[in-house]
Structure 1
Amino acid sequence: MAEEHRSGCPINLSLEVFGDKWSLIVIRDMMFGNRRHFNELLAKSDERIASNVLADRLQRLVDLGMITRAPDPSHKQKVIYSLAEPAIQLVPVLAHLGAWGIRHLPASRELSVRAELLERGGPAFWDRFMDELREQHLGIARPEGQPSAFGELRAAYEAELARG
């Protein structure tokens, strides 16, 4: 049975996927925090997502094809979540959302650093970051000699924490 949609408007359809309170936060944590296991996503959530809500959102994102779930080769009783290509392509959207949030909302300095770097880096940086996410999550090798966008984002955040 086909899923019912309120309308065929692309903004409406996107909001049907990401318009709840937690889906983009889960993708953000997988993307920028490299959190790939349920317990990492739960314990390291700044927003303190409830375990039942996290389980529901992970299953929903898997069902929608935004993330995948597979047995973790390093631990028999764990699963590992990976971003699928449609979620990886959200990097520019999250960059714009972060930039908007810095300008219009009381964002904390340490949590704004990565958004500022994403905005400053623009599409070339976003492409490098998406290539790196494809390597981490999909096993697609990124171009050789390309510096780590993930490393730059992490270093900027850690430097801001150290200034603290």
Structure 2
Amino acid sequence: MIHEARSSCPINRSLEMVGDQWSLLILRDIALHGRRSFRDLLTGSDEGISAPVLSRRLADLVTAGFLVKGQVTRGRQGRYSLTELGLATMPVLVELGRLGRVIDPSTQDAGLDGSRLDERLAALRLAHLDAPPR
């Protein structure tokens, strides 16, 4: 994740923030599969992210404002929640899923149908922001 913009191009800026190999997959796992703890994200992903990489990407996503980490008592795992910025990546995930199925029709549906995006975003807002749907 690149914290200082290298250009004024918004596409470049988006890629600097979430264009690495793991960030969008972490956001996918949190949003679509309900994996909200470090352990769940580490063990639940088919892609096999390593613990050090996951730790770094989670810290970057929190610093950049895509996620927040809930406060917990010592000895308990923190839960990660999407922010509004994190929720803003959902349409991108839908489109990447569509493209992935065009590239390789044997891939599975990622679990987020674009026709139900508003409904899914409302549910995610309630689960992650404790806010009523917009």
Q: TM-score, with normalisation over the residues of structure 2?
A: 0.90
Equivalent in the alignment of 1:45? 45
1:54 aligns with 2:45: no
Equivalent in the alignment of 2:7? 7
How far, CA to CA, are the matches of 1:24 and 1:113 in structure 2? Answer: 12
How far, CA to CA, are the matches of 1:76 and 1:85 in structure 2? Answer: 29
Equivalent in the alignment of 1:98? 97
Which structure 1 segments of 5+ residues have no match? 144-164
* Corresponding residue to 1:131 among 102, 117, 122: 122
Shift of 1:89: 1.6
Flag as ranges the 4+ runs of structure 1 deviating above 3 A: none
1:114 aligns with 2:111: yes
Q: How many residue pairs end up in the alignment?
A: 132
Which structure 2 segments of 5+ residues have no match? none
- Cα pair 2:97 2:110 within 8 Å, conserved: no
Counterpart AA for 1:40: D
Counterpart AA for 1:6: R
- Cα pair 1:88 1:130 within 8 Å, conserved: yes
Equivalent in the alignment of 1:22? 22
Equivalent in the alignment of 2:33? 33
Shift of 1:113: 6.0
Aligned-residue RMSD, C-alpha: 1.9
Higher relative contact order (CA 8 A, sep 6+): 2
Structure 1 residues 113 and 63, CA gap change in structure 2 (3 angstroms): closer
How far, CA to CA, are the matches of 2:96 and 2:110 in structure 1? Answer: 14
Partner SS state of residue 68, structure 1: strand
Counterpart AA for 1:131: A
Structure 1 residues 44 and 99, CA gap change in structure 2 (3 angstroms): same
Shift of 1:87: 1.0
Structure 1 residues 16 and 107, CA gap change in structure 2 (3 angstroms): farther
After TM superposition, the structure 1 stretch with the greater mean CA deviation from structure 2, 86-95 or 9-18, is 86-95
How far, CA to CA, are the matches of 2:17 and 2:71 in structure 1? Answer: 25
- Deviations 1:78-112 (Å, cap 9, x if unpaired)? 2110001111122211111101110112543xx22
Q: TM-score, with normalisation over the residues of structure 1?
A: 0.74
